[in-house]
Structure 1
Amino acid sequence: MAEQDPPRMLHVNLLAHGTEATRPAQSARQRVLFVDQSGQIGGAQLSLLDIARHRSHDSEVVLLDDGPFRERLAAQGVRVHVEAGGAVGALRQRGFGTGALRGLLALPSLVRRVARRAACADVVYANTQRAMAVCVLGKWLHRRPVVWHLRDIVDDSFFGRTQRIAIRLLSRGLTRVIANSQASADAFRALAGNGVPIEVVHNGIDPAPFDAALLRDRLALRVANGLPSTGLLVGLFGRLTPWKGQRVLMEAVARMPGATMVLVGAPLFGEHTYEAALRARAAEPDLAGRVHFLGFRADVAELMHCMDVVVHASVWAEPFGRVVVEGMLAARPVVATAAGGVKEIVDDGETGILVSPDDAPALASALTRLADEAERDRMGVRARAAAVARFSPLAMLTAVDRIVADVARRDGVAQDAPAV
């Protein structure tokens, strides 16, 4: 592939956003207890951060594990409590060994502690699957309606048979389900039936960091980050884990002499072996010097802006695809796998290119198609306009407010919960 000119600064029309443009009007609202299983920060937690910050004056967050997410919530003025004790973490990390037994023994205490806080709320809002389990198991104590913000495709790709059975049984205690995509909603209905009302609310992502990034010089950003100033530069943003498809992108770039790839993200939950395997592959002759590992970074918007193409290469269906929307907000064309919620985000050939999952030749072909800078810029401008119009924080927050108010009005309880 021939070398290209250094990236020029892309000028786009920035829509006015600001604080008032991205927040629904405040009104007398219901008290909400948000519950999340993780102290780490992922897409689900970033979405909850937006919602909890918006409702910080009348709500609080309970985390079932400590970590940087607690610090991030507190820094945003959100009241946050950690109800740890190992119950959820041990079950996640240790299967059915000794740690799992300790977790099961700790579970009743955890359920009671969360229920005690839930009894002071009008609505209990579970943001993750294990948080949902704790909230539903405690419903006989707190007697509050439980909303589950479903951020998973609950099929056999990610969930074992026992987990799926548990979700189906626990779903009977849910009052409402908010799904982050139609793909997530369809999988839930296939598993649990139509007994629980479910509504699709796509994640909203604040464009402000990307507005600021678009004003930066792309070449200067590349130089500052030790990235090449010429040649096609493609970036994959996300946790280093096999299902995110970093290895697929490597095999695609290996077919593209002159192209360079950037991996932004770090491994979690003992997946450092995978990172080591990626680094070993990157050192082989056909990729040597063409793979950059940047680790976890907070300046995602600026890094996306200096890429030529943002890549989403997940080998399994993504429930939503936050990174895809972020790439679009950065006015970059996105090449993404055609599965799950991603198909609800990208208009193939207009705002990005969709390829089959786990298909390195198809990914290489799509990236080669975007070797032309003018075509990339045209697609990037369309992508940004679509992302701003369809995935605004205002739309998400307004929908969540409406659903919470409706649940409290229809399903809230007049009587006090028993002492727990």
Structure 2
Amino acid sequence: MQQKPVPIRVAHVITCLSTGGAEMMLFKLVTAMDRKAFESMVIVLDDQPGLADRIRSHGITVRFLNMRSHPSSLWRLLLLLRLLADFRPDVIQGWMYHGNLMAYMASRLWFRRVLLVWNIRQTLYDIEREPCLTRWTIRCSARVSAGVRVMLYNACLSVRQHQAIGFSCHDTRIIPNGFDTRIFRPDPSARERVRLELGIAADAVVIGMLARYHPMKNHALFLQAAARLLQSHPETHFILAGHNVAPTNPVLATLLHDCPQLVGRVHLLDERTDVAAVMNAMDIFTLTSAWGEGFPNVLGEAMACGVPCMSTDVGDAARLLDDTGLVLPDHDPDTLARSWACWIAEGPAWLQEQGRQARTRVLDHYTIEAVTEQYQELYKELVAHVRPDRFLLPDT
């Protein structure tokens, strides 16, 4: 009798399930994986639902450790051990610093024979910029990282920065983020709909950014450059969206108050679920982050929508954009305003062609299907190496 194929079981341990870049990549990965060959479980350290329902709607188990509500980490660690014992994973995949460290602790305490993979999702320009607990977690992680089977990163720069502070150099892999080009695609009707909602004319130039409010995202740079551009291009509109990017944000409200020319020209949309539609309303997408980015999801999503992109030189933004976009040489608002003005002067047809080239680059190198296959091949390779008698599904 032919042996029934047994899926490879992968337990993903992640800090939270908000709509950040790492969390969205996890969502895209587990929902795109081959269900016949792989079984996934997601274990979340905190207690916020975030993307949980969307993941569960695909038949994937999501469990919460509620470490925010129950600060006694010992009891939460015991719960993690029980969840893993019930699931019996072949691979434990940590995500982000806290998720990685908890995955390591579980592996060392009980699951030493289970393959441990860490997934580091950000660059580390200056560890002192991180919160105190995160700094401690990073330093502890560096000390124990030699016990991790594979160190997985999404950016080349992130590898260099983490190894410089002591992270293991053993079996380091790089898998970039992937993008769903069926969701993120040029959509003229969405462009028209969002512009109509915001009262923006069809022929107006719109420049935008989608990013949660955080000092590292550097919204101040964006708004300062917007104020300068409006002096020469007064009909331009600007869209900013993301968690807490709203008129009620006191810092943003102060920035707008200090630049009265921005009133009526800057649209603060807060967090939106129709991200692709909002991106389609733009003529130029700009990422102004000061630090912390690994492989910026929003750049890839905007490129997939056919929107030409500019970015500060953070993470692997230059690698992603290649010659389809512009990497800014500094964080100066005058430089950014001049760059916007140069692109606007090229005209709508030129911007559309740049956007077409950007989408082609994503289709050629960064689709979610291609990136998911890299993860699946990694898991197959690891399991086959330590358990050569393990029955794996044949390639189809």
Q: Which residue does the alignment assign to 1:77?
A: 59
Aligned counterpart in structure 2 of residue 156 of structure 1, from 121, 126, 143: 126
- Residue 142 (str. 1) matches residue 111 (str. 2): yes
Q: Within 5 Å, which residues of 2 pair with 1:92-131? A: 103=71, 106-119=72-85, 120-131=88-99
User: What secondary structure, in the 3-state scheme, does the structure 2 residue paired with 1:142 have?
Assistant: coil
| 1:321-379 Cα shifts (integer Å, max 9, x gaps) | 110111111111101112211121112xx311110342211111111111121221121
| 1:280-308 Cα shifts (integer Å, max 9, x gaps) | 22233232221111111111111111111
Which whole-Å CA distance do the structure 2 matches of 1:264 and 1:215 have between them? 20
Q: Which residue does the alignment assign to 2:157?
A: 183
Assess, with a 3 A threshold, how the Cα gap between structure 1 residues 241 and 317 changes in structure 2: closer, same or farther: closer
Q: Which moved more, 1:48-57 or 1:357-366?
A: 48-57
Aligned counterpart in structure 2 of residue 263 of structure 1, from 231, 234, 240: 240
Which whole-Å CA distance do the structure 1 matches of 2:9 and 2:172 have between them? 21
Q: Which moved more, 1:157-166 or 1:147-156?
A: 157-166
Q: What residue identity is the alignment partner of 1:264?
A: A
Aligned counterpart in structure 2 of residue 41 of structure 1, from 3, 14, 19: 19
User: What secondary structure, in the 3-state scheme, does the structure 2 residue paired with 1:149 have?
Assistant: strand
Q: Which residue does the alignment assign to 2:277?
A: 302
Q: What residue identity is the alignment partner of 1:34?
A: H
- Residue 60 (str. 1) matches residue 28 (str. 2): no
Assess, with a 3 A threshold, how the Cα gap between structure 1 residues 137 and 117 changes in structure 2: closer, same or farther: same
1:232·1:260 contact (CA, 8 Å) conserved in 2? yes
Q: Which residue does the alignment assign to 2:206?
A: 233
Which whole-Å CA distance do the structure 1 matches of 2:92 and 2:372 have between them? 16
Q: What residue identity is the alignment partner of 1:174?
A: V
- For structure 1, list consecutive stretches of 5 or more residues without a partner in the other structure: 1-26, 90-101, 415-420
Which whole-Å CA distance do the structure 2 matches of 1:153 and 1:85 have between them? 25
Shift of 1:317: 4.5
2:97·2:137 contact (CA, 8 Å) conserved in 1? no
Shift of 1:54: 3.1
- For structure 2, list consecutive stretches of 5 or more residues without a partner in the other structure: 390-396
Q: How many residues align?
A: 366
Q: Which residue does the alignment assign to 1:320?
A: 295
Which whole-Å CA distance do the structure 2 matches of 1:377 and 1:32 have between them? 41
Assess, with a 3 A threshold, how the Cα gap between structure 1 residues 142 and 224 changes in structure 2: closer, same or farther: same
Q: Which residue does the alignment assign to 1:24?
A: none
Which whole-Å CA distance do the structure 2 matches of 1:59 and 1:334 have between them? 34
User: What secondary structure, in the 3-state scheme, does the structure 1 residue paired with 2:152 have?
Assistant: strand
Which whole-Å CA distance do the structure 1 matches of 2:145 and 2:14 have between them? 17
User: What secondary structure, in the 3-state scheme, does the structure 2 residue paired with 1:32 have?
Assistant: strand
| 1:241-298 Cα shifts (integer Å, max 9, x gaps) | 1211211110001011212211111239xxx999211122223323222111111111
1:148·1:178 contact (CA, 8 Å) conserved in 2? yes
User: What secondary structure, in the 3-state scheme, does the structure 2 residue paired with 1:216 have?
Assistant: helix
User: What secondary structure, in the 3-state scheme, does the structure 2 residue paired with 1:210 have?
Assistant: coil
User: What secondary structure, in the 3-state scheme, does the structure 1 residue paired with 2:51 have?
Assistant: helix
Shift of 1:395: 1.5
Q: Which residue does the alignment assign to 1:366?
A: 339
Assess, with a 3 A threshold, how the Cα gap between structure 1 residues 278 and 357 changes in structure 2: closer, same or farther: farther
Assess, with a 3 A threshold, how the Cα gap between structure 1 residues 110 and 196 changes in structure 2: closer, same or farther: farther
Q: Within 5 Å, which residues of 2 pair with 1:270-289? A: 275-283=249-257, 284-289=259-264
TM-score (norm 2): 0.86
1:177·1:199 contact (CA, 8 Å) conserved in 2? yes
Shift of 1:163: 3.7
User: What secondary structure, in the 3-state scheme, does the structure 1 residue paired with 2:321 have?
Assistant: coil
Aligned counterpart in structure 1 of residue 219 of structure 2, from 240, 246, 265: 246
Assess, with a 3 A threshold, how the Cα gap between structure 1 residues 193 and 79 changes in structure 2: closer, same or farther: closer
1:240·1:274 contact (CA, 8 Å) conserved in 2? no
Q: Within 5 Å, which residues of 2 pair with 1:316-395? A: 316-347=291-322, 350-371=323-344, 372-395=347-370
Which whole-Å CA distance do the structure 2 matches of 1:51 and 1:243 have between them? 26
2:190·2:280 contact (CA, 8 Å) conserved in 1? no
Shift of 1:194: 4.5
Aligned counterpart in structure 2 of residue 206 of structure 1, from 170, 176, 180: 180
| 1:141-176 Cα shifts (integer Å, max 9, x gaps) | 122221111102244254465343212113122110
User: What secondary structure, in the 3-state scheme, does the structure 2 residue paired with 1:58 have?
Assistant: strand
TM-score (norm 1): 0.81
Which whole-Å CA distance do the structure 2 matches of 1:168 and 1:28 have between them? 34
Assess, with a 3 A threshold, how the Cα gap between structure 1 residues 276 and 397 changes in structure 2: closer, same or farther: same
Aligned counterpart in structure 2 of residue 50 of structure 1, from 8, 25, 28: 28
Assess, with a 3 A threshold, how the Cα gap between structure 1 residues 276 and 137 changes in structure 2: closer, same or farther: same
User: What secondary structure, in the 3-state scheme, does the structure 1 residue paired with 2:42 have?
Assistant: strand
Which whole-Å CA distance do the structure 1 matches of 2:141 and 2:147 have between them? 10
1:111·1:135 contact (CA, 8 Å) conserved in 2? no
Assess, with a 3 A threshold, how the Cα gap between structure 1 residues 141 and 65 changes in structure 2: closer, same or farther: same
Aligned counterpart in structure 2 of residue 409 of structure 1, from 367, 384, 391: 384
1:235·1:310 contact (CA, 8 Å) conserved in 2? yes
